[in-house]
Amino acid sequence: MSPKPILELHHISKQYVMGEAILDALKEVNLSIRANEYVAFIGPSGSGKSTLMNIVGCLDKPSSGEYILNGTPVAQLDDNALAHIRNREIGFIFQNFNLLGRANALHNVMQPLIYRGVSFSERKQMATAALQSVGLGDRLQHLPNQLSGGQRQRVAIARALVGKPTILLADEPTGNLDSSTSRDVMAMFDALHRQGHTIIVVTHDQNIANHCQRVIRLMDGQIQSDTVSAAAAKTQDAASRV
């Protein structure tokens, strides 16, 4: 029996009022994701992928529909409850890194644990381990402006990992990186997936989506296709021949 989904969307819609007009950003989206899936949300600007990301990440609430995250119905929770869920269930990785400029790498990674009431000594131990896991054990005291773009994104990944979230949610994680560094970052996501993490990557770039097992393409607020990626299909084909 396949495991129960950790993320379920049922008939999710989102409307925005624009003056006298109503914009349908999402229309009756149904989706489920299971543990250790590696998923891309892909589509052009205006397709609804960012709105879907915001709802999946509990940054916004749907206008209608049901969202169950790790067994908890979250669609209509108030802002405080959503913040609580975000802190424990979602590890965010952003295009612009969103690091605190005056805090070193260690303190940036410790930050999410403050809101859980974790003691300073435990926060420091957990953050150090997270930074070591992304190859930055020798950069604990460096400020963001002393790190390369790739290193800053690794700090952001360590910050996302430190709380052991249900889902890693990456929004255009290579958008501010050169092609070589982008490959390094995606290789890290590939490795995290092999370690058992559930990862959702939001992107407009097919090359980035190709790293994922499953590609969900959005257009005009709806899921246009939900397919196994070419790379995953090749792996499955090779496995079937063994």
Q: Which pLDDT score, from 0 to 100, does residue 2 have?
A: 58
> What is the three-class DSSP state of 44?
coil
CA 76 to chain CA centroid, Å, is: 21
Q: How far apart are CA 35 and CA 45, in angstroms?
A: 28
> Of 96, 12, 114, whose CA–CA distance to 54 is shortest?
12
Q: Give pLDDT < 50 ranges for the chain.
A: 1, 238-240, 242
**Contact (Cβ atoms closer than 8 angstroms) between residue 208 and residue 43:** no
At 80, is the secondary structure helix, strand, or coil? helix
- The C-alpha atoms of residue 62 and residue 74 are separated, in whole angstroms, by 10
- 3-state SS track over 177-197: CCHHHHHHHHHHHHHHHHCCC
Chain-centre distance for alpha carbon 176 = 16
Q: Which of 211, 197, 75, 65 is nearest to 134 (CA)?
A: 197
* Of the options 1.10.600.10, 3.30.110.30, 1.10.150.20, 3.40.50.300, the CATH number for the domain spanning 7-240: 3.40.50.300
pLDDT value of position 18: 85
CA dist., res. 231 & res. 239, Å (int):
12
| pLDDT 10s digits, 14-48 | 999 888 888 999 999 999 999 999 999 999 999 99
pTM comes to 0.91
pLDDT tens digits, 181-196: 999 999 999 999 999 9
| Structure token pair of residue 60 | 């916004």
Cα–Cα distance, 67 to 58 (Å, whole number) = 10
- Nearest CA-CA partner of 31 in 168, 192, 215: 215
